[in-house]
Structure 1
Amino acid sequence: MATDENGRVAGTVTQRAHAAYTNDDAECGFVEAEGDGAVPNFFQQYSQTYFCRLAEVRRFFQQAAPDAYVSLSEVPTGTASTVIGVIYKQMPLKPSVLREYAGDVMLPVPEVKRANYVSDEDRVFIEDETGRTELCLASAGDKDGLVSGVVMAVRGTQMEDGRLRVEELRYPPTAPLPPPPPSTTLPKSADGSVDTEPLYACFLSDIDPTAARAQLLLDYLTGNLGIDLPRVRRIARVVIAGNIGDSDAADAFLANLAASVPVDLLPGDRDPVRSAWPQRPFHRILLPRAATPGKTALTRCSNPHTFTLHGRRFLGTSGQNVDNLMRFSRVTSTTEALHRLLRYRHVAPTAPDTLVCQPVWRRDPLLIRHLPQVFFSGNADAFAAQTVSLPLPSAISSTDAAAMDTAAPAECASVLLLSVPRYAASGAAVLLDLQTLQVQLLRVDDLP
C-alpha cells in the first residue's frame, strides 16, 4: 500500500460517493481570464466601481418595478418621489487614513481600535451621478442596519433644509434562480437502483495543519482512522473556507486529503494571496504537491467562490465580508449578515469603502446575479444554520421590507445560510446533506 511521509496509509476509503460538480467562479467574474486582462488596473478610480454597481442595480429595480424614478437633482420640494442611489454612511468613529497620517505628523493620541464603529452620531446619505442628499430616517434601526456601498431605492419627500424625509426603504429585487444545471446523474447502488443514502459536503475553515486536531480530521476524512467508514464514504467533497497557510505542513495536509476526496480551497485573510477582493486562488507554486494535476483532486478557488454540486448552487466566502459588515452596522450574527447580503444583492457592499477590492469599470463582479441555494461564510466565531425565504422577482411589484417578508410561500425561494466555525478553535466541521440540506456538526474531539 502507498504511504505518506508519516507512514499513514494514503486513501484508505474505497468506493467513495461521487457528486456532479461545476466550478462557476469564472462565470461570475471572480477570476479573470488568462491574458492581459488577468492583471487588474489599480490606477483606475474607485468611483467607477460605484457607478457600475449603481447602473446595474438600477436596471434590476426598473425591470422588477417600473416606477417613476427620478435623479437626486430632480427631486421636487414637498412632493413624494423615488430615487435610486448608493448609500453612504458618515461615521465619526470609522478609522481614517487622513487622521492616521495627521497623527504621524502631529503626534496626537492614536485612534482606539474598536470591534464596532457604529454610534448615535452616524449620518446616512444617498448619492447618484447628480448629487448627494442626507436621509432623514424614521427610526434608528433603519440607520443602524445600513452600510456604505449598498444600492437602495428610497421614497420620500424633500424638506426645506434639503434632506429627504424617508417614507420607504426598498431593497433591490431578489436575484433570480440560476438556470437549471444539466441533468445530474444520481449515484447508483450496487444493484443499479438510484442511491437514496445521504450524500455529504464537508465545510471547514481556519486549519492549523500542524495541530493534532487537523491530523485527526485528516485521518477521519481519508478513512485512515478506520471508524465511521459508511459515513466517510458518503462525503463527496470538502470545502475549506480560508486560512490554511502556505507551509510544507499545509501542502502535505492538502495533498493527503485531496488524494482521497475532492477538495475546494478558498483563500482567507491570512493566506498568501492578494488581499483585494475578489481574492485570486492560491498559486500552484505555493502547493507543489497538493496542486499536482492528476495526483490530487484539489480545486484552487477564488474568494468569493460559487459552484454547483449535486444540482445545488452554492455561494460562499472566507468571512471577511461578513466581519466587515458587522463592524460597521448593528448586525450581530453571521446568519443575519448573510441574510442582509442576499437582500442587498451584493456579496461585499462595504468594498471598496472599508474592505479592499480591485477597482472595476465595466462590471461589479461582487453583485449577486443568481440566487444560491446555500450561502456560507467561513471563519465564524460559532456554528449556525438558518433557512430563509426570499420572494422571487415576479412575486412582488415593489421591494419594500414589508413585501419582502410577507410574500406567499409559493412565490419564494429558500436559501440555507451557513456559518462555518474556525476549526482550529472549535474542532468542528460542518456536514451538509446534499439531498435534504440537513446540517450536522462533526467534532473530532467526540470521535470514539
Structure 2
Amino acid sequence: MTALDEIPGNLLRTPSGKPEAELERVSSTYKPLQSFKLDRDRSYKQQFADMYFLRLTKIKPAVEQLASAAWDDTVIGGEPVKKVERVLDIRQGELCWVTGTVYMDMPLKPNILEDVSKDRWLSAPISNKKYYSEDGSDAVTLEDESGRIRLVGDVLKSVILVTGCIIAVVGTENVNGELEVIDLKFPDLPPQPDRWTLTKPPVTNGSSKGSKTKTKPKPKDEDAEMTDAQSKGNGGKIAIVSGLGFSGNDASRALELNLLLEYLLGESLDPAAQRELSQISRLIIAGNSISLEERRATDEEMTEKRAHKKYGYDSSAYNALPSQLLDEFLATLLPAMPVTLLPGAQDPANASYPQQPIHPAMFPQSRPYTANPAATASASTSGKGEEEQVGWFDTVTNPWEAEVDGWRVLGTGGQNVDDIFKYVGSDDRLGMMEAMCRWRCSAPTAPDTLWSYPFQDDDPFVMQACPHLYFVGCQPEFGTRVIEGPEGQAVRLVAVPSFSAAQEIVLVDTETLDVTKVKIAAI
C-alpha cells in the first residue's frame, strides 16, 4: 500500500508521533445512605416542638459527659460547682451547670404568630437578610422541658450560637434572673467510622488495598487554595459543583456551561490534561441547578396575555427550557461518569428540609441512567436485607449522606449555612460549618427559621457519625479547612461556590481528601 506522503502532489501526510494510549476513567465505589429520605405517606398534622425535645434527648448525654469531666469537683471562689437537672432548678447565687437548647430571641427574626395576629399574611412576607442586630438587642436563652433562662456573659461573644444547638453552661443566676455564664461546652465531633466501613476497597494489581484503615484528611492547610503538590494523590478525584443556574436566556453563561461540560469530558484539552481528568470518578451537583431568573416578556406578549386572561393554570407562565437544558447537560455527561444530583432552594423539589430527590421524570433524556424503580421498590419492601439499587445517575436528598470511595461524606445544598449566616455577625462560612459539626447537628435552625418536616420519632439532622468530608454548595466563595476532634476525628470542610457566579469547580482527591479549585471561564 502506498503511503500518503509518497503520492506525488498529495498534500496529506501521515500523523506524526506515537498514538496516545486509550484512557479509562477511574471507577467509583459508592453507597448512598437513606438518612434523610421521608416516607411517601408522610403527614404534617403533628407539632414541630417535638423535634427540639428529640434533639435534646439525643445530644444531651454527649454534652453532659464532657461537662461532667470538666466541671465536676471544680471549686470556684471557694464554692463547688454542682449539676442541676433542669433550668427550673437553678437558684440565685448558686454556682451550677445545666444542659439545654439554645433559643435566640431576636427582634429581626420572623415571627409567624405575630404576622398572623397583625394580618401581615395578607401581603408578601418581609425577608430579612440578617436577623443579627448590631445594637445588642438580641438575647441568648437556654431552655428545656421545664422552662427558659436568659444567658449573659462575655464568653458568649467568642462562640457561634443559634437557635437549636445543644450546649451545657456553668455560671450563677444574678439578681435580674439571668444566668451569668463563665464557661460552656458543645457536644463536639461524634465518633468517626473507619474508612471502608460500609463498602469494600477496590482490588488493584491482584491485591486489595487493605482492610479498614484509620486514614484521615491531612490538616496541612488553612488557606482557601491548595497547591498542586498537595492536591495530587494516588487515586481518583471527586468533582463537586453547585449553582449551575440553567436559565436559557444568558448566552455567556451557556458558553461557560459548555466549557465545563468539555472540561469534564476532556474533549478540549491536551493528552496530559485528559490523563488527569480521567481520574475524576464522580460528579456531585450540590443544588441550584435551575435559575429562578424568568424570561422577560415583550410588550406584545404582555398585551396578548392581558387579552386572553383566564383563570386557573396558565401554561404560558411556565418555562420548560431550563430543565431541558439541564437534562441535555446530564445526558451528555452520563455516558462518561456517574452523577449525584442534590436539589437546592431553586430546584423543582419540596421547599422544606430535608428536600427529597428531584423526580426522574424531570429528566427524560437522563432517566435511563437512573435505578430501576421496580427493583428498588422490591429491595426496600422485601425485608430480606437486599441492597437498594443505585443508578449511574442518582438523584438524592438534601442534605445527603453516603460513603464514596470509602469516605463518609455529608453534603448539603447550602440552605443550612445560609440560615445560620443570618444569626451571626460573622461572614466565616467555614466557621459555621465547623460549629455545626461540633454541635452534632447539620440543621440546628430547623424548624425555627429553616422550613422543615415535623419529625416525631427521630431527628435525622443529628449527626450520628462524624463525616470525613463535609461540603456545602451555593456559597459566595470557595474555602476549605480541616478540623480535628478530641478522639482523633478529622473532617475536611469544603465551601463550594456557585458556578453561575464564580465559574469554579472543586476537585477532591479520593486518597488524601486534598482539595483544588478549577476556574472555568471564557476569555
Q: Secondary structure at the match of 1:365?
A: coil
Question: Partner amino acid for 1:379?
Answer: C
Match status 1:280 vs 2:356:
yes
Aligned to 2:283, the other structure's residue is in SS state: strand
| 1:400 corresponding residue in structure 2 | none
Match of 1:197 among 234, 240, 244: 234
Counterpart of 1:19?
28
Please say if 1:150 is aligned against 2:195. no
Shift of 1:109: 13
SS in 1 for 2:44: coil
| 2:265 equivalent to 1:222 | yes
Alignment partner, residue 416 of structure 1: 492
**Contact 1:341–1:348, Cα closer than 8 Å, also in 2:** yes
Contact 1:133 1:164 (C-alpha < 8 Å) held by counterparts: yes
Change (3 A) 1:110 1:301: closer
Which residue, 91, 94, 111 being the options, matches 2:109? Answer: 94
For 1:155, what is the secondary structure of its paired residue? strand
- State how far apart, in whole Å, the 2-side matches of 1:108 and 1:130 are: 37
- Structure 2: distance between partners of 1:349 and 1:390: 20
| Greater Cα shift, 222-231 or 169-178 | 222-231
Is 1:164 the counterpart of 2:179 in the alignment? Answer: yes
**TM-score (normalised: structure 2):** 0.72
Using the TM superposition, give the Cα deviation of residue 337 of structure 1 relative to its aligned residue in structure 2, in angstroms: 1.0
CA displacement at 1:390 relative to structure 2: 1.8
Aligned to 1:88, what secondary structure does the other structure show?
Answer: strand
CA distance in 2, matches of 1:156, 1:200: 48
1: distance between equivalents of 2:447 and 2:208? 51
Is contact 2:150–2:179 with CA below 8 Å preserved after alignment?
A: yes
Instruction: Give 2:368's match in structure 1, choosing from 284, 292, 300.
Output: 292
For 1:161 and 1:255, how far apart are their aligned partners in 2? 64
- The structure with the larger Rg is 2
Tell me the CA shift for residue 419 of structure 1: 0.8
Match of 2:347 among 271, 277, 280: 271
Query: Among 12, 30, 37, which residue is 1:31 paired with?
Result: 37
Alignment match, 2:229: none
Distance 1:281 1:109 in 2: 28
Correspondences of 1:110-149 after superposition (within 5 Å): 113-119=128-134, 120-139=136-155, 141-142=157-158, 145-149=160-164
* 1:317 is the counterpart of 2:362: no
Task: Note closer, same or farther for the CA distance 1:292–1:121 as it changes in structure 2 (3 Å cut).
Answer: same
Deviations 1:224-258 (CA, angstroms, capped at 9, x unpaired): 33542101110001110001136111111112212
2:331 is paired with a residue whose SS is helix
1:15-55 Cα distance to aligned partner (Å, 9 max, x none) = 2101211112x1x3x013xxxx4333211101111110111
Contact 1:264 1:298 in 2 (8 A): yes
Offset at residue 118 of structure 1 (A) = 3.0
Is the Cα contact below 8 Å between 1:18 and 1:187 reproduced in 2?
no
Worse-matched range after superposition: 300-309 or 171-180: 171-180
Identify the match of residue 352 of structure 1 among 447, 454, 461.
447
Q: Could you tell me the percent identity over the aligned residues?
A: 30
Separation of aligned partners in 1, 2:160 and 2:66: 24
1:423-444 CA-to-partner distances (Å, cap 9, x unmatched) read 1111110111111122111122
**What TM-score does the superposition give when structure 1 sets the normalisation length?**
0.83
For residues 153 and 217 of structure 1, the distance between their equivalents in structure 2, rounded to whole angstroms, comes to: 47
- One-letter code aligned to 2:241: L
Alignment of 1:342-381 (within 5 A): 342-381=437-476
Counterpart pick for 1:46 among 39, 45, 48: 48
Shift of residue 76, structure 1, vs aligned partner:
2.7
- 2:500 aligned with 1:437: no
Distance 1:273 1:156, change over 3 A: same
Structure 2 gaps of 5+ residues are 1-21, 73-82, 210-231, 249-253, 291-321, 372-390
Task: Report the AA paired with residue 505 of structure 2.
Answer: A
Equivalent AA in structure 2 for residue 16 of structure 1: R
Q: Structure 1 pair 170/315, CA: closer, same or farther in 2 (3 Å)?
A: same
How far apart in 2 are the matches of 1:335 and 1:414? 15
Q: Which amino acid aligns with 1:136?
A: V
Question: C-alpha root-mean-square deviation of aligned residues, in Å?
Answer: 2.8
Counterpart of 2:224? none
SS of equivalent to 2:149: strand
Contact preservation (8 Å) 1:312, 1:373: yes
Q: Deviations 1:335-366 (Å, cap 9, x if unpaired)?
A: 11111111111101111111001001111100
